Each structure stands twice: as structure tokens, then as C-alpha cells.
Amino acid sequence: MSDTFGTLLKLTIFGESHGRAIGAVLTGLPAGLPVDMDRLEQDMDRRRAKGRISTQRHEPDQVQVLSGVFEGRTAGTAVTLMIENKVQRSADYDQLKYRLRPGHADLAAFARYNGCQDYRGGGHFSGRITAGLVPADGTAAQDPRPGL
């Protein structure tokens, strides 16, 4: 599994569900595209866990733009979007260090990373990693060029 996807527009995801942060880096966007942060926040709100049947981990998921956007427009350099993981109870996963959970990607992670995977909450295989995809998609979707 690669962390980078795409050809002309490249997306790299980073982080783990119980690490300091998760996020995405977009390269290939031209300079001058508008980036509507309010729209990105609306997208994140739609993704946010709600109700009793969703995960009980309710994160604020504030998107921070670390690079590539200046005065509301892309700068032509890599756009780095980061979301801090603030609600973590990593100790809850201590018993999973040597156990694989049914219905999770624990076996795939164990095989991929030779037993050196971050087992806390699925690490890089967690659904939490998708939080970085939402603002990346929202940023790229604001590109007015057809076909991208």
C-alpha cells in the first residue's frame, strides 16, 4: 500500500489514528486557485461522527493549512493539510499488541509492516486516516480546470 496516489495531481496521506496528527499533502495544483476554508470546514462537519451508532471518538477535526496557501489561494507549492488528534485513549489498545481483531485490518497491517505496525486503533489502517482525505478532496474540488 502506498501513501501517495495520482499522476498529475498527487495526494500523499500521513499520520496514524493515535499519532500526533493526520493529514494530506497535495502537489500539482497551480498557483492562484481559491481555497474556501469555510467550505472545507463544512465538509469536515459532514464527516464528523454523530449519534450513538458511530464511533464514540468525537474529534474537533480543525483543518490547519501548513503550507501551499497564501491569502486564500494556492501558492503553486505543496498544499499541506493537517488535523491534530486530540481525543485519544491509546492505553485502551494495549491488550491488542499481540491480538488481531476480527473485522479490522490488523492482520494486513501486521503482514505489511512485519509486526512493527502501530496497533493502537488500527494505526495507518484506521478509518480515522480518512479525515485527511476530506479537506484534500475539498481543496482539489475547488480547481476550476475540467477533468481534475
Highest mean pLDDT among 38-42, 71-75, 84-88, 116-120: 71-75
Average pLDDT of the segment spanning 95-121: 71
Phi, psi torsion values for 14, nearest 5 degrees: -145, 160
Average pLDDT of the segment spanning 71-89: 89
Q: What is the pLDDT of residue 12?
A: 95
Cβ atoms < 10 Å from Cβ of 80: 19
CA gap 88, 57 in Å, rounded: 8
Predicted TM-score (pTM) above 0.85:
no
Q: For residue 63, what are the CA distances in angstroms to 15, 43, 143?
A: 14, 11, 19
Instruction: For residue 10, list its beta bridge partners.
Output: 27
